[in-house]
Amino acid sequence: MGLVTREFTVEIATAQAIRVLVEGKVQGVYYRASTAKKASALGLVGWVRNLEDGRVEFMAQGAPEQLDSLLQWSHKGPVLARVVNVYHELAEIDQQLCEFSVLK
């Protein structure tokens, strides 16, 4: 059984998930929308949200190569963002996810 994304199916045995926290000027600069757009273009599923402390958190899952691309992008983000730190860790696969969502 595979993990279905918009563009391709990733075998669950090879799929990974990551949880990422991004610090800096990352709210009010389209960081969430840009993350969702980038992740969707890479065929990833997951979510992104603002935290009350000013950070952005996202969880993404899919092929390791695409996750690495999103993680590398997250260090810069959209043009108006000023990323100071990015922390990431492996996360549990959520088989219920079928798209990349911007959470409130």
Domains of the chain, by residue range, sit at 15-95
Rounded to whole angstroms, how far apart are CA atoms 91 and 81? 25
* Paired strand residues for 88: 20
Exposed e or buried b for every residue in 91-102, given b needs 16+ CB within 10 A? Answer: eebeeebeebee
**Given this model, what pLDDT does residue 60 score?**
98
Please name the CATH architecture into which domain 15-95 falls.
Answer: 2-Layer Sandwich (3.30)
Instruction: Provide the annotated active-site residues.
Output: 32, 50
12 against 95, higher pLDDT? 95
Task: Please give the mean pLDDT across all residues of the chain.
Answer: 91
Is 13's pLDDT higher than 60?
yes
pTM over 0.75: yes
Task: Using pLDDT thresholds of 50, 70 and 90, give the confidence band for residue 12.
Answer: low
